[in-house]
Structure 1
Amino acid sequence: MKCHQIFGADPTDGFAEVALAEDNFVLQKPYNEPLGTRYSYKDGVRSFWVYNHDKPFKSSSGTRPRTEVRIKGHDYSSGIWQFEGYAYVPKGTSGVTIMQIHGASEGATTLQLRIYNGDMKYYKFNVVATDLYDKWFRLNVIHDVVKGKITVFIDSEQKFVVNDQGPGDLYFKCGVYAAPAGSSNYMDSRWRDIKLYKK
């Protein structure tokens, strides 16, 4: 009975939801493109898309193309935080980060979740989940800064646990950010019901 209760627990149990307003969602997109040509927000769904040949988000940046939302106003450096969102990635989108935790003691990020041919990977390494194309899935990412642990859930099932990349000014992002190599020409992810929690 106890095992069943633990297995059936929701990732958000014990967490308090953090209030988010629309101005907490800050968009980054290719600097030379109007926002409406790479992003839409309709009927509660945020759609992000980018092309492999697009420019970076600012002219002085050498980074790969992206259309992402950066959740602002809730940066953190301690405690236990959680990102939740329902994501949809269409078939053909590959070599792209759809969610990340920005900030680390070494490197720019402490987590990147990428889609390669329908599978989700931790950066280009461990497989987190498979067969995610063309369906909505619930993504929950818990970052326990004190323990230095990140836990990833897909549809409420724990899929992956990894050490973080050390302390930093941390914040959550989602959308499409082309991976360093092997990106499809067109990359698209859709998100709804994005929430933050902490405890």
Structure 2
Amino acid sequence: MKTSVCCSILVVLILVSFLENGHLCVADPTDGFTPVPLTDANFKLQKPYDIPLEDRYSYKDGVHRFWVYNKDKPFKPDSTTRPRTEIRISHYWLLIAVGLVLVNILSTLPVWKFKGYTFVPSGTSGVSIMQIHGATMGATTLQLRMYKLGDIRYYRCSLVAADLYHRWVRVNVIHDVVDKGKVTVFIDGVKKFVVKDQGPGNLYFKCGVYAAPFGSSNYMESRCRGIKLFKK
């Protein structure tokens, strides 16, 4: 009897140790990666150019909160891009090169990983909550967009994960430039999506809210915490 009770307690303790934010936590895919030091200087905030930052962004208790409206201005007067309030993380892992120079750079590139927790309130739709900016073709390599029903999609196409509204979600994105330009997305520690990248460019991670070209709700919000970068 005592043995049975002890075993039950042990099982409960093990389960509790794996719980994170009220959900059973799956392994964090960080094996072989080295943390990259980040300071406030690495976080470059972008917001509609005609209003104060505090009208579209707040930071409290370790949580970055971003919000934007569909009719807001872009981040600078001469831009034709959509409204945004985002953090641009100023670590670059490939500059555009050509010919043999590109081959030499690629051979020494690290693999980069973004890790963070994101929270999107119900009703926010048609918004990129995380990006890899830079590409040979187009402006970005990856956009993770939130659409209706809490679905995260690769741009507006492939479904990455569903039913993620109104809860904290751990997002890991690994970009391996050397291995055929492979981008891998993990949600709560589970591999959900793999895609080829868009070619070399001036690459860096972003997170926050960036209105999609269509289907954006009038009000868009996301929150981020625990933002970290790794490389190997």
Aligned counterpart in structure 2 of residue 172 of structure 1, from 196, 199, 205: 205
Rg (Cα) greater in structure: 2
Aligned counterpart in structure 2 of residue 154 of structure 1, from 187, 191, 194: 187
User: 2-side partners of 1:69 and 1:171: how far apart?
Assistant: 11
| Counterpart residue number, 2:221 | 188
| Counterpart residue number, 2:58 | 40
User: 1-side partners of 2:92 and 2:134: how far apart?
Assistant: 10
CA RMSD of aligned residues (A): 0.8
Aligned counterpart in structure 2 of residue 75 of structure 1, from 89, 92, 105: 92
5+ long unaligned stretches in structure 1: 1-7
User: 2-side partners of 1:175 and 1:26: how far apart?
Assistant: 12
Structure 1 SS opposite 2:125: coil
User: 2-side partners of 1:70 and 1:143: how far apart?
Assistant: 17
Percent identity reads: 69
| Counterpart residue number, 2:121 | 90
What amino acid does structure 2 have at the position aligned with 1:75? Y
Alignment of 1:23-172 (within 5 A): 23-72=41-90, 74-77=91-94, 78-117=109-148, 118-147=150-179, 148-172=181-205
TM-score, normalised to structure 1, is 0.95
Question: Structure 1, residues 138-170: CA drift from partner, whole Å, max 9, x if none?
Answer: 000000011100000000000000000001110
User: 2-side partners of 1:9 and 1:146: how far apart?
Assistant: 25
Tell me by how many angstroms 1:9 deviates. 4.8
Residue-pair matches, total:
191
Tell me by how many angstroms 1:13 deviates. 1.3
User: 1-side partners of 2:27 and 2:177: how far apart?
Assistant: 21
User: 2-side partners of 1:9 and 1:181: how far apart?
Assistant: 35
Structure 2 SS opposite 1:64: coil
What amino acid does structure 2 have at the position aligned with 1:89? V
Question: Structure 1, residues 10-66: CA drift from partner, whole Å, max 9, x if none?
Answer: 311110000000111000000001000000000000000000000000000000000
User: 2-side partners of 1:105 and 1:153: how far apart?
Assistant: 24
Matched, 1:16 2:16: no
Structure 2 SS opposite 1:23: helix
User: 2-side partners of 1:37 and 1:180: how far apart?
Assistant: 23
Structure 2 SS opposite 1:196: strand
What amino acid does structure 2 have at the position aligned with 1:76? W
